[in-house]
Structure 1
Amino acid sequence: MEIKALITLKNGVLDPQAKAIHHALLAHNFNNVKNVKMAKQIVLEIDSNDKSHAIAEVEKMCQELLANTVIEDYTVVSE
């Protein structure tokens, strides 16, 4: 089963890479872009038939290892 963890910086944490992308987009006349937020996506293949258990396991992975919960938020999704 494929489970995805989407990890983003919390609001208020400086994101220089997103800021650079935003400036580049504006320089290329994409003037409707109001804000840019960078994220990393981690795709995990979990050996389980129980969707809720797999999601809970990936949430635990995020809490303990994959995300720095001091400065990052995470969302776990499955399709």
Structure 2
Amino acid sequence: MIKARVTVTLKNGVLDPQGKAIEHALDALGFGGVGSVRQGKVFDIEVDSTDKAKVEADLNAMCDKLLANTVIENYAVEIA
């Protein structure tokens, strides 16, 4: 069993209205000094395999096909 974490974030230059809303909410809650907030997604995935190279290739394919919109998002795969 291989465990992995996939982190998906918006590319630089892509507007992040949810991040901006979080930034304003933090300020309203008294957490001043927050420069900016960018939101993203995290996927913790377990794959029933022992072949790390194949799992990494499969995870990249999963991101390209489903987990990330590669036009506006970047992703990073981290295998534990």
TM-score normalised by the chain length of structure 1? 0.89
- Structure 1 runs not aligned, ≥5 long: none
Give the residue type in structure 1 aligned to 2:39: M
The alpha-carbon deviation at position 29 of structure 1 amounts to: 2.0
TM-score normalised by the chain length of structure 2? 0.88
CA distance, structure 2, for counterparts of residue 40 and residue 50 of structure 1? 25
Q: Which residue of 1 aligns with 2:57?
A: 56
CA distance, structure 2, for counterparts of residue 32 and residue 76 of structure 1? 31
Q: In the comparison of the two structures, how many residue pairs are matched? A: 79
The alpha-carbon deviation at position 2 of structure 1 amounts to: 1.1
Identity among equivalent pairs (%): 49
Q: Which residue of 2 aligns with 1:73?
A: 74
Q: Which residue of 2 aligns with 1:42?
A: 43
Q: Which residue of 1 aligns with 2:30?
A: 29
- Structure 2 runs not aligned, ≥5 long: none
**SS at structure 2 position matched to 1:61:** helix
CA distance, structure 2, for counterparts of residue 23 and residue 65 of structure 1? 30
The alpha-carbon deviation at position 53 of structure 1 amounts to: 2.0
